């Protein structure tokens, strides 16, 4: 029996690049590289070289379903592999180099990746790990021929493999539900867990992310992904940009303020995205040099809460709109984006800014949300009630890679581990991660809210709040502050700043000045902080 009157071609990732190579053939892709000159070509060129890479991988024996791993930065070569590997039915395992050695080896072995392609400055890491990687049968260095060094792993050179191959290929059509990317969570608890993105999930996610109510891309945009390609596919930007004909600017591993500013100015970047840490460094650079963000119009920031002061500075001082997003590896990763609505606009600019700057984002088509209490009962969307945040939809994980049990329930609801409120406008606000919530005298203190206030204090670069055991109140918050270079902000300054901005019982019991440790995905490492300061209040 017919299932409908429309066609049913499976959604395929390679079709995105094929589309861009015909509809936006000359649109540029510019890439910094580890220590080679800046690379420039266009979507047509990217398709040709992706085909060459795919032919080379086939020659090395890659078959549909096989995993191919990368240890690579945001470069055009990595981008080519984003298309070449799924284009021959393979699965690209984007290894996160910020994990510990044992975790990197664990993910490579767990994924059963057979080939590892790596950027040149990962050679020492690869050589160190090689004895623990019996499954890797070929190492390939992402390098030009001139600078290629095989090392003790006897790596082949990417460019010399490519020149031997034809730019023509019959791409492999796979089931749209077949795996295409394998991304591991950072494993803050236990071993990293693999999330296998299907072609269908990646394509639908990329289409949704470009919508006007999300990133709002047009062919005039120049997009520079500063979230890592190895971390949940850089929020899908390597797909959303070509779908919309945007110029792509790849910053490699050079995420410092000066390098980003140079690319923004020289390439006319209009849109970028990354974790707050990167934009803290970027704002410090502007402050230091007196420069402005030139053509930059919009910034998506997520991965951890965007400090309100950061969003305000970008908007008010530089006219750059900050779109906060929330998501996770398990959601491909886009969950919600903070964009305005007419209803909000009617309340005035201040109310709109407040909503956009202090909430993680607004409900998007394709990802359903709900908040529930401890018994699993639905909580109201009144902006007050907070509970466990559950999500579901076509780009939400059902089961982790090679696990025996589902991660989501039978209706598809996946518990994110975050605590959130949702308001009548559909804006979601994360108040904490379950494991980071501070329970003081039976009441909750939101570590994120407290950090947000503290980070706005002049001289504060990073503010981290964790709960430590307290003999009377069970837990009390302590505040750890990393100062801006040269700043002299004191404990008294911080308390004076907090006083009028928080309720009394949220006042941190102690303020420490220290370097704030970050996790492999650039979030404040609260586990380390809790261990470091666990005895802070015992006496």
Torsion of CA 241, 246, 247, 253, to 10 degrees: -30
Q: What are the strands, taking DSSP E only, across 401-526?
A: 414-422, 427-433, 438-440, 443-445, 460-470, 474-483, 510-513
Here the tokens at position 10 are 């499976």
* Closest distance of CB 179 from ligand ADP, Å: 18
Of the residues 216, 303, 387, 467, which one makes contact with ligand ADP according to CB under 6 A: 303
331 as an active site residue: the answer is no
Q: With respect to ligand ADP, which residue has the nearer C-beta, 12 or 96? A: 96
Contacts of 22 (CB under 8 A, 6+ apart): none
Q: Which of 316, 434, 439, 505 is catalytic?
A: 439
434 as an active site residue: the answer is no
- Decide: 73 and 98 in contact? Cβ < 8 Å: no
Contacts of 525 (CB under 8 A, 6+ apart): 188, 517, 518, 519
Q: With respect to ligand ADP, which residue has the nearer C-beta, 333 or 508? A: 333
* Closest distance of CB 364 from ligand ADP, Å: 14
Assess 107 for contact with ligand ADP (CB under 6 A). Answer: no
Query: Helices (DSSP H) in 12-135: which residue ranges?
Result: 14-23, 43-59, 76-87, 101-111, 123-129
**Phi, psi (5° rounding) for residue 157?**
-100, 130
**Phi, psi (5° rounding) for residue 209?**
-65, -30
Q: Which of 102, 287, 295, 444 is catalytic?
A: 444
Q: Name the one residue in this structure whose structure tokens are 């204090």.
A: 457
Torsion of CA 236, 240, 243, 247, to 10 degrees: -110
Assess 95 for contact with ligand ADP (CB under 6 A). Answer: no
- Per-residue string for binding with ligand ADP, 399-438, x by CB under 6 A? -----------------xxx-----------x--x-----
* Closest distance of CB 110 from ligand ADP, Å: 15
439 as an active site residue: the answer is yes
Q: Which of 80, 165, 330, 482 is catalytic?
A: 330
Assess 277 for contact with ligand ADP (CB under 6 A). Answer: no
Assess 216 for contact with ligand ADP (CB under 6 A). Answer: no
Q: Report the interhelical angle of 76-87 vs 43-59 (nearest 10°).
A: 60
* Closest distance of CB 413 from ligand ADP, Å: 15
Assess 523 for contact with ligand ADP (CB under 6 A). Answer: yes
Q: Say how many CA atoms lie within 13 Å of 183 toward its Cβ.
A: 25
Q: With respect to ligand ADP, which residue has the nearer C-beta, 261 or 521? A: 521
Assess 58 for contact with ligand ADP (CB under 6 A). Answer: no
Q: With respect to ligand ADP, which residue has the nearer C-beta, 161 or 448? A: 448
Q: With respect to ligand ADP, which residue has the nearer C-beta, 433 or 483? A: 433
- Decide: 448 and 324 in contact? Cβ < 8 Å: no
330 as an active site residue: the answer is yes
Q: With respect to ligand ADP, which residue has the nearer C-beta, 96 or 244? A: 96
How far is it, in rounded angstroms, from Cα 235 to Cα 524? 20
- Per-residue string for binding with ligand ADP, 309-348, x by CB under 6 A? ---------------xxxxxx-------------------
Assess 186 for contact with ligand ADP (CB under 6 A). Answer: yes
Assess 360 for contact with ligand ADP (CB under 6 A). Answer: yes
* Closest distance of CB 69 from ligand ADP, Å: 18
Give the long-range contacts of residues 445-451, CB within 8 A, separation 24 or more: 445/477, 445/505, 445/506, 447/477, 447/526, 448/305, 449/502, 449/506, 450/477, 450/479, 450/502, 450/506, 450/508, 451/305, 451/307, 451/524
* Closest distance of CB 525 from ligand ADP, Å: 10
Which residues of this chain interact with ligand ADP, rule CB under 6 A? 185-186, 188, 302-305, 324-329, 360, 416-418, 430, 433, 519, 521, 523
Q: Catalytic residue positions? A: 185, 330, 439, 444
């Amino acid at each position: 029996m017919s299932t409908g009157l429309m066609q049913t071609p499976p959604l395929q990732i390679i079709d995105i690049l094929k589309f861009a190579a015909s509809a936006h053939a000359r649109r540029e892709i510019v890439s910094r590289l580890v220590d080679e000159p800046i690379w420039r070509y266009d979507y047509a060129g990217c398709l040709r070289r992706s085909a060459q890479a795919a032919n080379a991988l086939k020659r090395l024996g890659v078959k549909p379903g096989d995993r191919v791993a990368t240890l690579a930065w945001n470069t055009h070569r990595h981008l080519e592999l984003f298309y070449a590997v799924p284009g021959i039915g393979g699965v690209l395992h984007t290894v996160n180099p910020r994990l510990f050695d044992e975790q990197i080896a664990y993910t490579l072995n767990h994924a059963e990746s057979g080939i590892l392609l790596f950027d040149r400055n990962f050679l020492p890491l690869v050589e160190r790990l090689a004895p623990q990687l019996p499954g890797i049968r070929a190492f390939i260095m992402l390098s030009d021929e001139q600078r290629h060094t095989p090392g003790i792993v006897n790596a082949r050179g990417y460019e010399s493999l490519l020149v031997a191959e034809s730019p023509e290929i019959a791409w492999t059509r796979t089931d749209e539900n077949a795996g295409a990317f394998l991304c591991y969570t950072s494993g803050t608890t236990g071993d990293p867990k693999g999330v296998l993105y299907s072609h269908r999930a990646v394509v639908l996610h990329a289409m949704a992310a470009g919508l006007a109510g999300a990133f709002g891309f047009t062919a005039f945009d120049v997009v520079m992904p500063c979230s890592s390609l190895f971390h949940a596919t850089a929020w899908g930007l390597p797909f959303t940009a070509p779908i919309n004909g945007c110029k792509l600017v790849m910053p490699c591993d050079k995420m410092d303020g000066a390098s980003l500013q140079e690319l923004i100015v020289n390439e006319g970047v209009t849109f970028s995205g990354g974790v707050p840490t990167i934009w803290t460094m970027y704002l410090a650079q502007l402050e230091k040099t007196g420069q402005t963000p030139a053509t930059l119009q919009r910034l998506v920031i997520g991965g951890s809460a965007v400090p309100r002061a950061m969003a305000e500075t970008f908007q008010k001082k530089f006219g750059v709109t900050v779109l906060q997003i929330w998501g996770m590896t398990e959601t491909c990763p886009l969950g919600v984006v903070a964009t305005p609505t007419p209803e909000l606009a009617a309340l005035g600019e201040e109310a709109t800014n407040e909503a956009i700057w202090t909430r993680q984002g607004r409900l998007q088509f394709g990802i359903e949300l709900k908040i529930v209490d401890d018994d699993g009962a639905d909580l109201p969307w009144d902006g007050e009630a907070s509970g466990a945040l559950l999500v579901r939809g076509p780009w939400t994980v059902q089961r982790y890679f090679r696990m025996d049990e589902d991660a989501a329930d039978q209706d598809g609801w996946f518990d994110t581990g975050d605590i959130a409120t949702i308001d009548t406008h559909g804006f979601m606000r994360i108040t904490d991660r379950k494991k980071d919530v501070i329970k003081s005298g039976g009441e909750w203190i939101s570590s994120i809210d407290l950090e947000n206030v503290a980070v706005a204090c002049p001289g504060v670069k990073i503010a981290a709040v964790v709960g430590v055991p307290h003999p009377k109140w069970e837990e009390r918050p302590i505040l750890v502050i990393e100062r801006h270079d040269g700043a002299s902000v004191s404990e008294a300054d911080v308390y004076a700043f907090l006083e009028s901005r928080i309720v009394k019982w949220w006042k941190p019991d102690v303020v420490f000045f220290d370097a704030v440790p970050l996790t492999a995905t650039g979030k404040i490492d609260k586990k380390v902080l809790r261990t470091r300061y666990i005895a802070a209040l015992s006496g």
